Amino acid sequence: MRKYAFVAWMMLSVCVLASPMAWGQDTIKIGIILPLTGDQAKFGEIEKQSFDLALEEINESGGIRGKKLQFIVEDDTGRPDVGRSAAEKLITKDKVIMLGGGYSSSVTFAVAGVAQQNRMPFLVNTGSDDKITEQGWDYVFRLNPPVSEYPGALESFLTEVVRPKTAAILYENTNFGTSGSKEFKATCDKLGIQVVINEGYEHGGVDFKPILVKVKQANPDLVYMISYLMDASLLMRQSMELRLTPKIFVGGAAGFTLPEFPKNAGKASEKVFSATLWYQTLRYPGAMDYFNKFVKKFNKDTEYHGAEAYAAAYVIADVLKRAKSFSPEDIKEALSKTDMMTVFGPVKFVSYGKKTNQNKLPTYLVQWIDGKLELVWPKEQASKPYVFPIDWTKEWK
Amino acid sequence: MKRSQWTLALVVIFFCVFPLVVRSDYYRHVLILALMWVVIGSSWNLLAGYTGQVSFGHAIFFGVGAYTAGLCAHQLGISAWWGMLLGGPVALIVGLIIGWICFRLRGPYFALATIAVGEIFRLVATVWKDLTQGMQGILIIQTFRSKLPYYYLALVIAAACVFVINRVMHSKWGYYFLAIREDQDAAESMGINTWRYKSLSLLISSFFTGLAGAFYMNYMAFIDPHVVFSLHYISIMAILVGIIGGVGTLWGPPVGAFVMIWLQETFRSAVYGLMPKWVSEAHVLSFGILVILVILFLANGLVGDWPKLRRLLGGRKRPSSTSGA
Amino acid sequence: MDVLIQTVVSGFLIGGIYALIGLGMTLIMGVMGIINLAHGQLMMVSMYITFVLFHYLSLDPYFSLLVTMPALFVLGILIQRYLLNPLLKVESILPENQVLMTVGIGMVLAEIARFIFSSDYKSVKTGYTSAALYVGEISFNLPMCVAFGIAVLLTIGLFYLLLKTDLGKSVRATAQNKEAALLMGINAERITIFTYGLGSALVAAAGTLLLPIYYLFPDIGGPFTLKAFVITILGGLGSTVGAIVGGVVLGVAESLGATYISMALKDAVGMVIFLLVLIFLPGGLKRLTKV
């Protein structure tokens, strides 16, 4: 008899819990998917904090037509299957009217598929694999440039200043790393740079010396690395140990722009360049304000991921204010008509090449100078002049 | 026995009716996942619980099935549903190879070897980009927007799996499997071709796991090597499902699957929003603690040690009808 | 040529750390027949302790060794006494229950660490982290050299312990035949508890020495546990010298694989060696020698 009671109780509780519950009807709910735990947690944290910062400001200045905006943040833990489940939960259970976020390329790709299928507008702000906006998905919009455009500023820097003849590409074996390396190789082919080494590695390695010593032997002018945080630090530290001295080291954003990078790599991070999508001294209204507000509130620097999130929040607010109604079609319509300025830059979704609903932005080049990240290219917008050529023996003393 | 037939009927009706009564896609999704784990857990149990070969590499078959379906769509340009037909057989063939490599090892060494092979598969899938797209993964568009077809498909596969295992265990093969588990050398000396029967067990096990993998591709619509060849999230999860439910029992893995998925979702939503946010991160911790408790006190799992569990939970008022159980 | 030498040198040095990790495991596996899938997580615990000591007390990792080794020794004893020993008495279908118990223990340890420290990457920055000695163009990472030296010292110490002391002889006796040892008056239960503690202390040393040149996060344990297995099987169960040799062989093989095959398949090299040894050389390298 007890067995029946137990089974019946389980079934009943499942049914009860499954019935839709009506929570706060007076807020406008947006679902945000970010990695809050797992190895990308640091990035997810900066983005969430930026979302929160923007949300506070938006709600304080009246919200959306008098109603408060609410961000329901779900943790994708860095895994695309979890991201998918999170998206489904936000759509079917929390009944959000729009999705935002999307950090890792593989998670973003999986979530975008869900969004498109459920006709749920999704504003991507970080996931950078080109494929995400090349599927013809009309419900998916992307604020940030795709990874193929990351080295944009680097291109002109290379052709005008460095003029390398050979390059080595090292990338982490993830969606971001793999797609980034493919695109950079294409860039090198275009610029007539010979790629002597193009190798991926498994994230989490202890010893990169085998690959670095191969690079050293090939003696390239340029070493381009695409990594998240810790591998970036180890790669630079071990390059220093091996006395690997190309003309320049360039990182493909991600781990190379975080404030933790110089903390971990120490002097090995000095004078390392990186592509980046944003910098606080850019003449976008509110850019410096956002930077200062963030530093004040969270006691640490922010960088392009945070700016992406902050800008995305404002775009979402703007879209909701303009939308004729909160139906998915009207929100999608409003998104496609977006034409505004944010701290991250101008936002207008266009189609070009194979891409649809993609925002087009220039990218920049930064360099770590004396432990601080400085914008060095294009020259007109630089916060400090670039350092090149680099005397590695001096740097690594 | 009438009582268990009634329970079985009730359970069947419940599962058939559930998605029609509960309209929330989220809960349907949770049940679909649970049903998939019923298949994986039961398959693992056939090889490990009944035949005594504890595999730590079931992700191999899952991943192979998933990629078979994925590659149908991606490389061959045909629908991933063909993967449902092909996934099982392909996984079965892989199973043959794995068996040939690993069955010469016993007990814990077999387990370790399966870990190694599993990791090799994962690494190769990551690196062989031309074939598998590496970490960029394979994405397809789900054929059905509604969850109902997937639910019933998962239900049918789970039911078929449990049914087949039940029939097998009640046949001569089942006795051979158990004999091998209890004492492989004694079995061999009694004339049982242990190699053949271990392989048969593995083939059934890998077939269904591969089928589950192909289903996963069709349902989740996105796979990459870290997801489907994962030691942690697939292989070890399969083992946990089996252990907690009860190794060597028919209903152990199904119960284990539901318990694990239920626990996972309860924790992830911080008990449906009733508890503070940090609770949502504790679901893996709960698995670990549960495993330790089960192994210490309920070594045969929730189902296997059900009488003991009942006693522990408070059947104290009633004196046990059998003494010294 | 330089590439080859540097590769081999790097592999050799990392082999020292691997050897330390393997030393603990070969002891546990060789003596007690326990497959310890929580080995990497024990190392993780010692790394977190080292991190905390460095961060809050500014204690250099080399000094932390004096804290982490005893701490993990105690932890190991507690685990063996309360969680693993009882299993020997439980009647269950699968003898592999003990392995699965260690899986559970590993999970709990990792999750508790995640809880306290979050999933962030932590690291310690010491003055000597990137220090290197140079012989011509070949670089020898200093902390790794030190770790290698300590690994050798610990191996010698362990060797001496096992061969010359009474305690050590009891350990070996229990390993060879538990029942006979019991008959000889050895408290086998105590010995297994002691051995697990000792194995844990050894892997604690590995962790503390690894932290300055790597980094720390809750999931760090898994891959290292696998490497420990490879080394144990390669060197032969219970063989201390085998662990050093196995560690170096693995380190060098991985490095060569990374350079000449592909960096991405580096870990696969270890797995393949593992399988080959399991299948073709079951006693490990020990079989080829007499130690």
Per-residue pLDDT tens for C40-78? 999 999 999 999 999 999 888 888 999 999 999 999 999
Contact (CB, 8 A) for A105 and A175? yes
With cut-offs at 50, 70 and 90, classify the pLDDT of residue C32: confident
- Is C233 in contact with B304 (Cβ distance < 8 A)? no
Q: Helix, strand or coil for residue B146?
A: coil
| Percent of chain B's residues with pLDDT above 90 | 44
Amino acid C288: pLDDT: 62
Place of tokens 């990497």: C40
- Is C111 in contact with B285 (Cβ distance < 8 A)? yes
d(CA B174, CA B50): 8
d(CA A378, CA A275): 12
The H or E element that residue B257 is part of is helix B252-268
d(CA A201, CA A177): 10
Place of tokens 């857990």: B41
With cut-offs at 50, 70 and 90, classify the pLDDT of residue C251: very high
Q: The complex's ipTM?
A: 0.85
The answer to whether the bond into C282 is cis (omega within 30° of 0) is no
Amino acid C181: pLDDT: 83
The b/e string for C219-231 (b: 16+ C-beta within 10 A; e otherwise) is bbbbbbbbbbbbb
> Which residues does C contribute to its contact with B (CB < 8 Å)?
35, 83, 86-87, 90-97, 99-101, 103-108, 110-112, 114-115, 222, 226, 229, 233, 262, 264-265, 267-268, 271-272, 274-275, 278-279, 282
Structure tokens at C14: 């990392």
Structure tokens at B207: 């077939």
- Is B222 in contact with A109 (Cβ distance < 8 A)? yes
Q: What are phi and psi of C127, to 5 degrees?
A: -60, -30
Q: Which residues of A touch C130 (CB under 8 A)?
A: 237-238, 240-241, 266, 268
Residue of C94, C118, C119 to mutate when probing chain B, most B C-beta within 10 A: C94
Look up residue A31 and give its DSSP letter: E
Which of C254, C285, C286 lies closest to C269 in space, CA to CA?
C254
Q: For strand A166-172 and strand A222-226, is the pairing parallel, antiparallel, or unpaired?
A: parallel
Contact (CB, 8 A) for B65 and B91? yes
Nearest to C130 among A229, A260, A268 (CB): A268
Give the number of C-alpha atoms closer than 13 A to the C-alpha of residue A316, restricted to the C-beta side.
32
- Is C2 in contact with A217 (Cβ distance < 8 A)? yes
Q: Is A204 on the interface with C (CB under 8 A)?
A: yes
- Is C217 in contact with A234 (Cβ distance < 8 A)? no
- Is A208 in contact with C263 (Cβ distance < 8 A)? yes
Which of C179, C233, C240 lies closest to C27 in space, CA to CA?
C240
Distance from the Cα of B51 to chain C's closest Cα (Å) equals 10
Q: Chain centroid to CA A236: how far?
A: 22
For residue B53, pLDDT beyond 50: yes
In sequence order, the 6+-apart residues with CB closer than 8 A to the CB of A193 are A158, A164, A165, A166, A167, A222
d(CA B157, CA B172): 24
Residue C126 burial (CB < 10 Å; 0-12/13-18/19+)? middle
- Is A80 in contact with B310 (Cβ distance < 8 A)? no
d(CA A98, CA B188): 63
Which of B233, B267, B246 lies closest to B309 in space, CA to CA?
B246
d(CA B237, CA B220): 18
Under 8 Å CB pairs connecting chains A and B tally to: 95
Q: Is B304 on the interface with C (CB under 8 A)?
A: yes
For residue C96, pLDDT beyond 80: no
The H or E element that residue B150 is part of is helix B148-169
Q: Which residues of C touch B296 (CB under 8 A)?
A: 83, 86-87, 90, 101
Q: Is the pTM of this model over 0.80?
A: yes
In terms of CA atoms, which chain C residue is nearest residue B280?
C115
Contact (CB, 8 A) for A141 and A349? yes
For residue C262, pLDDT beyond 90: no
3-class secondary structure per residue, A129-183: CHHHHCCCCCCEEECCCCHHHCCHHHHHHHHHHHCCCEEEEEEECCHHHHHHHHH
The H or E element that residue B256 is part of is helix B252-268
Q: Which residues of B touch C271 (CB under 8 A)?
A: 116-117, 119-120, 123
> Pick the residue with more confidence: C86 or A271?
A271
- Is B227 in contact with A81 (Cβ distance < 8 A)? yes
How would you write the pLDDT of chain A (397 residues) with one tens digit per residue? Answer: 555 555 566 665 555 554 444 344 578 999 999 998 777 888 898 999 999 999 999 999 988 888 999 999 998 888 888 898 889 889 988 899 999 999 998 899 989 988 998 899 999 999 998 889 999 999 999 999 998 888 888 999 999 998 999 999 999 988 888 888 999 999 999 999 999 999 998 888 888 998 899 999 999 999 999 998 889 999 999 999 888 999 999 998 888 988 888 888 888 999 999 999 998 888 889 999 999 999 999 988 888 999 999 999 999 999 999 999 999 999 999 999 999 999 999 999 999 988 999 999 988 999 999 988 899 988 888 888 999 889 888 888 7
- Is C121 in contact with A214 (Cβ distance < 8 A)? no
In terms of CA atoms, which chain A residue is nearest residue C255?
A210
Which of C283, C289, C210 lies closest to C45 in space, CA to CA?
C210
- Is A175 in contact with B22 (Cβ distance < 8 A)? no
Nearest to A241 among C118, C120, C141 (CB): C141
3-class secondary structure per residue, chain C: CHHHHHHHHHHHHHHHHHHHHHHHHHHHHHHHCCCCCCHHHHHHHHHHHHHHHHHHHCCCHHHHHHHHHHHHHHHHHHHHHHHHHHHHHCCCCCCCHHHHHHHHHHHHHHHHHHHHHCCCCECCCCCCCCCEEEECCEEEEHHHHHHHHHHHHHHHHHHHHHHHCHHHHHHHHHHHCHHHHHHCCCCHHHHHHHHHHHHHHHHHHHHHHHHHHCCECHHHHHHHHHHHHHHHHHHCCCCHHHHHHHHHHHHHHHHHHHHHCCHHHHHHHHHHHHHHHHHHCCCCHHHHCCC
d(CA A331, CA A97): 8
d(CA B246, CA C289): 44
- Is C6 in contact with A37 (Cβ distance < 8 A)? no
Q: Helix, strand or coil for residue A351?
A: strand
Q: Which residues of B touch C274 (CB under 8 A)?
A: 112-113, 116
Q: Which residues of B touch C110 (CB under 8 A)?
A: 284, 288
Amino acid A228: pLDDT: 85
In sequence order, the 6+-apart residues with CB closer than 8 A to the CB of A286 are A342, A343
Amino acid C184: pLDDT: 85
For residue B317, pLDDT beyond 60: no
- Is C87 in contact with B119 (Cβ distance < 8 A)? no
- For residue A342, the cross-strand partners are A345
> Pick the residue with more confidence: C159 or A34?
A34
Under 8 Å CB pairs connecting chains A and C tally to: 99
Amino acid A19: pLDDT: 43
* Cβ under 8 Å to C: B residues 200-219: none
Amino acid C84: pLDDT: 84
Distance from the Cα of A332 to chain C's closest Cα (Å) equals 36
Kindly write down the DSSP assignment for every residue of A357-389, as one continuous string: EEE----EEEEEETTEEEEEESGGG-SS----S
Give the number of C-alpha atoms closer than 13 A to the C-alpha of residue C275, restricted to the C-beta side.
19
With cut-offs at 50, 70 and 90, classify the pLDDT of residue B280: low
Distance from the Cα of B6 to chain C's closest Cα (Å) equals 29
Q: What are phi and psi of C248, to 5 degrees?
A: -65, -45
In sequence order, the 6+-apart residues with CB closer than 8 A to the CB of A128 are A105, A144, A145, A146, A147, A150, A176, A179, A180
- Is A117 in contact with B142 (Cβ distance < 8 A)? yes
Amino acid A23: pLDDT: 41
Residue of A79, A197, A202 to mutate when probing chain C, most C C-beta within 10 A: A202
Give the highest mean pLDDT range of B1-15, B263-277, C36-50: C36-50
- Is C96 in contact with B108 (Cβ distance < 8 A)? yes
Give the highest mean pLDDT range of A65-74, A348-357, B33-42, B222-231: B33-42
Q: Which residues of A touch B142 (CB under 8 A)?
A: 113, 117
- Is A202 in contact with C266 (Cβ distance < 8 A)? yes
In terms of CA atoms, which chain A residue is nearest residue B33?
A85
Give the number of C-alpha atoms closer than 13 A to the C-alpha of residue B184, restricted to the C-beta side.
14
Per-residue pLDDT tens for B91-138? 999 999 999 989 988 878 888 899 999 999 999 998 888 888 888 888
Q: Which amino acid is at A104?
A: S
d(CA A139, CA B44): 41
